[in-house]
Structure 1
């Protein structure tokens, strides 16, 4: 049998099938690429935002003896070459070559005390292989070769060093100053220059934070600060730097390119790091045994967890889109196949074999679907992103469903020659075996939903097959229940309509209750389409609410000003004068001593009542701070709960009385030990924080503050940063595109169903028109035949979509879309589903009008066979 002739005769259904196939292949091929591209961008952003000390691979060794000491840069280069040769294949393209990025070698001492400071000053010595391109000398000169001097009747080395501006100011290391290092094996340093970094913000400096800045800590029980810094020495200084005299560590930094890893290879990279760590640990170079230091596996673990939960939601949404698109294509194939049924029945009666029927049914469909699938798949490559398995498998599955159904249906329908049957006389009773199977599906779906809520995830990073099967089972169960229960309320309405005088309601509802099997097929399309669209809108609403909560938790006010030092006098008045500022609340933050021990806690002194007014209308808040009869009232963290009265040391010793527990302080503390106390806890508050209410411009607030150490953050900026994150933005687009596509497919399904039943419906109207059926009554009868199915399915899809987030329970973790805040208490947004249901009803009504108008132009003689009116 030839395929071009049927395709040309039934050009309308063939064109519709081609358009549906092209759009489905474009969506199921393009959206996964976009999602995967967003995963890559999220991974790159995560690695770029992390400190290089976490992402890079650090091979470290402590020389055990003088023989293990490295004295020349060439020895470090040889060690790096050996370390790079041991890299596993997945890591080699990710590691930057020597001299690029953060890759370098270094030799540094640690815990090197300045003699006579009582352990409160430490000055370490460091050599950087790339210091020439990292720092510039602003005063003095570069360090030269070391010398010697006599100290306590011993000859000790004198290292020429350069220090940062911060070390010179805080540790008194002026040019020309000499300091003795150590408490037993002495060495001396002579400051000959002061340097500054070419780019202090470069990620490179996270490896050597104390080279640029002095590290200050407050030891327990002491009031003075402990200061640590690292001074730079020259290459010549390596000849006198050894591990016998002081704590010395050699480090080879293999810098990771943050933009090189991909989300698809993240798990492989994590495993490769573990393999490399084992390989390096057994390597025994002359300088000693290596140990690998890196935070990359932890970063990748966090990303894989976030990606897994994010991917779960995307699989649910895109899987629903794939199922709905395939279902609509099946309807289109059925429309084309039913048009060809008379010819196929005649061919079967004349001796055509079943394979010939299969080829005749699949041929026209293949002519339409294959070029459309290829074109859709090709267009999907215009979407940026990696090509995953789904990108290729999705279009292939769509094409296989279309051609396979087109080949199987004629074989099933025309297996017996000239076997005619009527499906509109009475509702067929389903066989017991089918009813039992359908009941089993419903029970298993409900049991799966219960088990999913009552247990934790079985897989890692969200890869739980159980989580992916349950939503599909629930959708199928809801569709089966809808199909089986749909006729019963209609039969009740038929009984009520039969008591009335109007014939149209009775006839329309009777035809709806006795619908052909093909007429209930839209349930399998409309129900998942509505359920997934409702699910997507509910998820989107929950994510937006959590994003707003995360932004407020990050700031604690519309605008927040923080500073490491006390803000200048008059800054509060200047900020109050900024247009848009409604309220300015001064506060003081700092670390306090608990009791007379080394235990510390974070504290904020603020007018709590005013802060509560500032937070009115926001999703965050604070409990009230009642007055205390004895001591200063305080809100404490759960870690400090139960201590009652406690002494703290801040600017002065103060007695606090616990008056409430607060789990988090918006904008400041989320875990650990912290306190909230009145601003008057200190006699003269050192205001270093401002909480601002209003819609003022953050840039104007920054100008009003004026201090170089002040940092201004706003709730609007935090919210924009969360929403503009690569993963969040892509998910928002995917949800919108999916909802729009599902709405379009649902409308197409209604139209196709109208067309599929057009012949039978027109024939029924042709019988009724000679009996006095008016055009208005014909439209009403057609609408009553179609609308009940649409409305019942819309209601079932709405209920299922609202129930899915609760049914999936702990399996859905959307915190990666909402700034790390858990998305809870999904608030249903009924705008999208109600609009979609209304659209379906309107399309059904328009279809009824068009159908009756078209049938009016055809005479009864052309619609009825001889003897039909007898």
Structure 2
């Protein structure tokens, strides 16, 4: 049989099948690439934004004796080459070629201070490239001096400029350090970092800044500073009498990381630590790897699993619906070939010839479409995943397979008479039992998923992927079985009336065979997944807005560690865009007379509530002389606190959190009138003033806004990926749902035209024929649309804790899926409108054909 001739005869249907295949293959191959590219970008941003000390790989070892001391740079270099040689293959592409090495002492006290101040000795392998000497000179070789009858080494060191004032040191000063094994430190130079913002200084913050620490059990903070010495100083630096640690830093290139390799990186870090530890053989000190990379990868993978779960659900639903629509188009093509294939079979054609002809014609349409969609997917940036290759193949195999199997089943016998106008037979007991079992298992799966939560111990939880599919199948089965019963009730009611059109239309709809009803059920997963995507997207958006308000607590907030001067406050009040300024003072107060402490904010709550307006956060009213307290301070009646003076405050209410300030722990909100003098260090501003202008007015303060916080949450790569993917899938599924309605109308057009033509010979008018067609097709579409909407609205609640989207909403749980019925109503209305328009278009087209021609269509006798 001539395939090209058949393609030319049925060119319109072939073209529709080509376009549907192209769009499906483009979506199924392009969307995974785009989502994976965003996953990679999210991991790279996470590793790049993390402190270098947390992301980099650092090999460390403590020296406890002179035999373990490293005396020269060459010894450091040889070990660095060793660490790079034994790096696992998964880590090698991520480590930069140049790192740095260090030798530092810790807890080296200044003699005579009883541990009140510490000057540590340090050496950096690349200090000459990292610092500028602003005073004095670079350190030289160590010398010796006499101290308490002993000869001790004198280390020439440089010190950061900040430490001179902080620790009361001066250039040229010589200080004795140590408790038993003394040494002298002579400050010969003062340096300044060439680039203080370089990630490099994350590893060496103790060199660049004075570190204040509170020792265990101590009351006061002590100050630490690490000095810099020359290479020659290594000859005298020993761990025998002090705490000395050597480190080799292998910097991580976060831009080279990929999300697919993240699980392997975790295992590689563990393996690297094991191999490094093996190099400790024969040494009293153990080499080990210091890094926070596994924790970073663990947090990222937790977010990634959630993102992938949502993506699998919506993309899997999109693929299923796309395949269903393509199958509908193939069925339409098969129906158009039915007469030709019947003649072929009657003239002695084999089933293989019949099936091969249908498959070849379908392949002629879908194969070029699949290739075109596959090629266009390469325009989408991102890595090539297995689904990129497998997706188009699945589409082609399903389409061609259905095209081959269906004619083979229909034309098993030549000229086999098929009656489409009788009621379908009752389903067997076995089939009913199987369908009931599917429904019960789906409901049980949803309950178990909510009860046990999400399991990510072995990666993606397959249970979470199966339950939505089972719920969709269960909803489809229930709809298919229960759909005729309410229609039959309507048929009984309309049979008592005098009008024939409602009775005939509803009767034909109620007697529709399963084979004619099943194509329309493609609408159910299409609407279910699209509404689910829309609901989840709206839930994320609403929670993101809530999180931004909870982070800031006002449209604009200015916080300072010191009191903001009144003159600056007045300038802020006069700034363009500032509508209202609320003064607040935060601090840590004493509760009672013991060591208990709590966070407190003194603010006019009434003014604060006014500037919050319709924000999703709020505060209860507070009267003078009272306090709003956190749950940790509940039940205490009158509180006595120390803050500027001793105050007694009655508890006026309980507050779970203070927006922009406190979310847990012990805290309270008090009116400003309880203070002797309000010393504002926080400003809550209503308006849209320029943040840059506010920063210029108060240079020492931090300025944040609710809009900036919201943008920061939304701009996260994983967050934006989830939202735009949901939007794309929602639009695609809505389009497929409309196409499914149109195809279902076209598939039944011939049979419907034949029935209407018979009725028109009995006196049915054109207007009555239009109403009859609408009543025949509209009930099933409306019922399926309602079930699909219910499924989509119920899926978020059914999945429950299985989909934790807090990572994309400012770490707040996304649980308030408000029923915004605008989009669901729009989808249902659109489908109904398409069905009605299709019915009227069908009857309009049918008018052009004579009744005799229509009645002879398909008549072989």
Q: Report TM bin, short chain.
A: over 0.9
In the alignment, does 2:449 pair up with 1:465?
no
CA distance in 1, matches of 2:674, 2:83: 56
**Structure 1 unaligned residues grouped into runs of 5+:** none
CA contact (8 A) 2:624 2:673 kept: no
Deviations 1:226-281 (A, max 9, x none): 21111111111111111012111001111111112211111110111111122222
| Bigger Cα displacement from structure 2, 619-628 vs 756-765 | 619-628
- From 571, 574, 582, the equivalent of 2:571 is 574
> Residues 222, 88 of structure 1: CA spacing in aligned structure 2 closer, same or farther, 3 A cutoff?
closer
In the alignment, does 2:743 pair up with 1:752?
yes
CA contact (8 A) 1:498 1:506 kept: yes
- From 542, 546, 550, the equivalent of 2:543 is 546
CA contact (8 A) 1:525 1:749 kept: yes
In the alignment, does 2:230 pair up with 1:241?
no
- From 586, 608, 626, the equivalent of 2:583 is 586
Deviations 1:752-789 (A, max 9, x none): 11111111111112212232222222211111111111
CA contact (8 A) 1:584 1:690 kept: yes
Match of 1:810 in 2: 801
Deviations 1:411-449 (A, max 9, x none): 111122221211223343223322222121111111111
Find the residue that maps to 2:807 and give its secondary structure.
Answer: helix
Match of 1:167 in 2: 163
In the alignment, does 2:847 pair up with 1:847?
no
Instruction: Please list, as runs of the form range in 1=range in 2, the aligned pairs for 1:418-437 lying within 5 A after superposition.
Output: 418-437=415-434
Match of 1:485 in 2: 482
- From 174, 180, 198, the equivalent of 1:178 is 174
Match of 1:312 in 2: 309
CA distance in 2, matches of 1:411, 1:53: 67
> Residues 218, 245 of structure 1: CA spacing in aligned structure 2 closer, same or farther, 3 A cutoff?
closer
Match of 1:76 in 2: 76
Match of 1:10 in 2: 10
Structure 1 residue 583: Cα displacement = 2.5
Find the residue that maps to 1:342 and give its secondary structure.
Answer: helix
Match of 1:728 in 2: 719
- From 144, 148, 152, the equivalent of 2:144 is 148
Match of 2:661 in 1: 668
CA contact (8 A) 1:533 1:832 kept: no
CA distance in 2, matches of 1:74, 1:450: 65
Match of 1:791 in 2: 782
Structure 1 residue 302: Cα displacement = 0.8
CA contact (8 A) 1:333 1:406 kept: yes
Q: When the two structures are superposed, what TM-score results if normalisation uses the length of structure 2?
A: 0.95
CA distance in 2, matches of 1:351, 1:133: 89
**Structure 2 unaligned residues grouped into runs of 5+:** none
| Bigger Cα displacement from structure 2, 599-608 vs 244-253 | 599-608
Find the residue that maps to 2:256 and give its secondary structure.
Answer: coil
CA distance in 1, matches of 2:637, 2:219: 26
Find the residue that maps to 1:248 and give its secondary structure.
Answer: strand
Deviations 1:440-475 (A, max 9, x none): 111111111111112222333872111111111111
CA contact (8 A) 1:540 1:732 kept: yes
Match of 1:137 in 2: 133
> Residues 583, 220 of structure 1: CA spacing in aligned structure 2 closer, same or farther, 3 A cutoff?
farther
CA distance in 2, matches of 1:657, 1:171: 44
CA distance in 2, matches of 1:85, 1:176: 44
Instruction: Please list, as runs of the form range in 1=range in 2, the aligned pairs for 1:654-665 lying within 5 A after superposition.
Output: 660-665=653-658
Structure 1 residue 521: Cα displacement = 2.1
Match of 2:34 in 1: 34
CA distance in 2, matches of 1:634, 1:67: 64
Structure 1 residue 660: Cα displacement = 4.7
In the alignment, does 2:353 pair up with 1:360?
no
CA distance in 2, matches of 1:228, 1:606: 37
CA distance in 2, matches of 1:604, 1:285: 57
Structure 1 residue 130: Cα displacement = 1.4
Deviations 1:669-717 (A, max 9, x none): 3334444444466544443222222222222222332x2x211010000
Find the residue that maps to 1:309 and give its secondary structure.
Answer: helix
Structure 1 residue 627: Cα displacement = 5.5
CA distance in 1, matches of 2:357, 2:79: 71
| Bigger Cα displacement from structure 2, 773-782 vs 788-797 | 773-782
Match of 1:607 in 2: 604
In the alignment, does 2:701 pair up with 1:704?
no
In the alignment, does 2:688 pair up with 1:695?
yes
CA contact (8 A) 2:47 2:55 kept: yes
> Residues 84, 634 of structure 1: CA spacing in aligned structure 2 closer, same or farther, 3 A cutoff?
farther
- From 505, 521, 524, the equivalent of 2:521 is 524
In the alignment, does 2:434 pair up with 1:443?
no
> Residues 509, 866 of structure 1: CA spacing in aligned structure 2 closer, same or farther, 3 A cutoff?
closer
Find the residue that maps to 1:425 and give its secondary structure.
Answer: coil
> Aligned pair count?
859
CA distance in 2, matches of 1:491, 1:485: 11
Match of 1:226 in 2: 222
Deviations 1:466-496 (A, max 9, x none): 1111111111111111111111111122222
